[in-house]
Structure 1
């Protein structure tokens, strides 16, 4: 597939890094020479210095033969213009990153379709939605739903009090004939493994579990944590993510928002009538304590500074806040944040890259999620008739060992997959895969 990425910022660079490991004809267009230089230290993807909204630059990049054009520059206007031009100049499919929710309204989306833009992505809204979902699953560090929540991927860290410490997967599952959940991966000391039935759980393991609706409530007992009911939330940072979260929560929970900018505070007061907006510096621990941080059930740090978010979450943890969530834009800081006790990390680059990455796969992928605390990915397929997956029980189809089929949805049924499961045409399949398996698994379902 010939792919052109417009923009070598954080999202574009991460996408280029992901795609350079695949078998694609890749080209990056970027007007900033320093960003091109930085990209060259990370990946061998070829670059053209120039504006992605230039006819000449797009032609030089080979837009006439492009299968996919991805506009992810920091400028929303540049993304929209370059994506529209790319489609008119021959690109088969075009994607643009945007920064305004109004563009996603049904009536407005039709306008962008008329301009030739196939898909719009608003990373801050997607990230905000993830945070709200996580608050409903307070014991989980990451949460992904499939097929309208018929299947869930729930991620949690094992505490010393967990009853499954030092038990194998078989022992943890017990004697149940019908599974409602199953561990599909363990992240331990920075390494992600697909566990075997004899692998044992250890303190500090980050466990990835596929569950159906019946199984999700039971999982909390395995974490070693006490379930909490979130009633009061403090949000640090009146960013687009923070605003979206507050708007969604303010009529259901008690919400306080801390923002350092006076001008931004005045706007937030008008936009969020049921949120208590306070002006202050999130780096000032005394201020946060004075505003009742220790009485919060959850603390969400979404300023534009990763270090501030991590330190504020550490303070919240020390004061007894049960659930902390931090926006970390520097990928190198993700494992640091997890190691110092931050419960959940969100990263817009990974969120956006995961949503876009599925369009680059040669097989038909319904959705793909790039996980923040792991190098693995979760993919959703619809099984085609006569595909290899329907030719026998799962244990007999020779599925790659660096991936595992977690569950499937068949009509109104959600089923946790075992070796004896027989997959049927049109099942919706959820697969957990390490990077080495990504190019191998699609053929089983297509």
Structure 2
């Protein structure tokens, strides 16, 4: 996958390195060329100086071939503007915006733009939204054999009942996160666009679960 990141601060740089370690190509946009030093000498991705919602800058970063976009600069307005430009102009649905204001973040999630507010910020939360394979454990049992992972799903899963998702995965979904709020699914709960699934799995089963969710489900 090719991921474009706007903002090369502490969060943007750590996200870029994490994505590159996972084998993805990365382009980072920032107005300050000195900010790219945070990426370190081992970073091999593309760096583009400019404003992240400028179309020429986005094209230079490879937005036309991009599979995802993360707006993680220090400005709410810049992040949301860039996210909207990328979605509406280039048709990329896999977009995440960092929003400082928790209330505004929830509003934008309702508009279809997944957001991460600073109060609950961690770079792995962006990974979870950009990559189904980017899951990180939310909890591990004391023995280290069982974990709870939070992960998104391919659009093909949207519209299925959670019970059907559990059956297809062969794993339990104790709860999910929708519009920034946790909820315990029941038999009638249907997976919606933007939902984040919290799945109980053994360590050995993580790659299988991630692989299944990264692509449309087999006929259920």
- The secondary structure found in structure 2 opposite 1:27 is strand
User: May I ask how many residue pairs the two structures share in their alignment?
Assistant: 174
Deviation of residue 28 (structure 1)? 1.0
Give structure 2 stretches of 5+ with no counterpart. Answer: 141-146, 152-164, 176-183, 185-197, 215-220
If you compute each CA radius of gyration, which structure gives the higher value, 1 or 2?
A: 1
In structure 2, the residue matched to 1:93 is 94
Distance 2:86 2:108 in 1: 18
In structure 2, the residue matched to 1:122 is 117
Distance 1:443 1:89 in 2: 30
Distance 1:71 1:443 in 2: 26
Deviation of residue 14 (structure 1)? 0.9
Deviation of residue 101 (structure 1)? 2.5
Q: Relative to structure 1, is the Cα distance of residues 362 and 4 closer, same or farther in structure 2, using a 3 angstrom cutoff?
A: same
Task: Identify the structure with bigger relative contact order (alpha carbons < 8 Å, sequence gap 6+).
Answer: 2
Distance 1:103 1:96 in 2: 11
Q: Relative to structure 1, is the Cα distance of residues 99 and 370 closer, same or farther in structure 2, using a 3 angstrom cutoff?
A: farther
Q: Relative to structure 1, is the Cα distance of residues 12 and 362 closer, same or farther in structure 2, using a 3 angstrom cutoff?
A: same
**1:358 touches 1:368 (CA, 8 Å); kept in 2?**
no
- The secondary structure found in structure 2 opposite 1:20 is helix
In structure 1, the residue matched to 2:128 is 358
Q: Deviation string for 1:49-93 (max 9, x for gaps)?
A: 211121110111121232211000111121111111111221232
- State TM-score, norm by structure 1: 0.34
Distance 1:52 1:379 in 2: 31
Distance 2:102 2:113 in 1: 17
Structure 2 counterparts to residues 257-268 of structure 1, below 5 A = none
Distance 2:96 2:213 in 1: 26
Structure 2 counterparts to residues 198-277 of structure 1, below 5 A = none
In structure 2, the residue matched to 1:58 is 58
In structure 2, the residue matched to 1:33 is 33
**1:429 lines up with 2:197 in the alignment:** no
**2:46 touches 2:61 (CA, 8 Å); kept in 1?**
no
Distance 1:410 1:120 in 2: 22
In structure 2, the residue matched to 1:443 is 211
Q: Relative to structure 1, is the Cα distance of residues 432 and 85 closer, same or farther in structure 2, using a 3 angstrom cutoff?
A: same
Deviation of residue 42 (structure 1)? 5.2
Q: Relative to structure 1, is the Cα distance of residues 13 and 445 closer, same or farther in structure 2, using a 3 angstrom cutoff?
A: closer
Runs of 4+ deviating beyond 6 Å = none
Give structure 1 stretches of 5+ with no counterpart. Answer: 127-350, 372-376, 391-406, 413-426
